[in-house]
Amino acid sequence: MRELKHPISGAVYGVDPDRDGLVRVDERGQIGWFTFRGVWQDGIKLQVDPELCGWVGGPDVATDRSKPWKQI
């Protein structure tokens, strides 16, 4: 499971496989579930960092190493 700790609030952001991939945010016992865009879905925690939700729960993107580059 992918998890990141918010550097300021200390909240833990992680993908919850039991909830169709929603992002689970736990900040000092207050838990909420959000889409990868930061839209609230369930729980008592109502505010999150939408950027961190995107990093944790967003779609996987190709890295620079997987792109075909033309050498000059």
Answer for the pair 59, 45: CB distance below 8 angstroms, yes or no.
no
- First-residue to last-residue Cα distance in the chain: 40
Domain-by-domain residue ranges, the chain? 3-60
| Predicted local distance difference test score (pLDDT) of residue 59 | 82
Write down the pTM of the prediction: 0.80
Helix (H, G, I), strand (E, B) or coil at 52: helix
Answer for the pair 40, 46: CB distance below 8 angstroms, yes or no.
yes
Strand partners, 3: 14
Give the whole-angstrom CA distance, residue 7 versus residue 38. 17
pLDDT tens figures, 16-48: 989 998 999 999 999 999 999 999 999 999 999
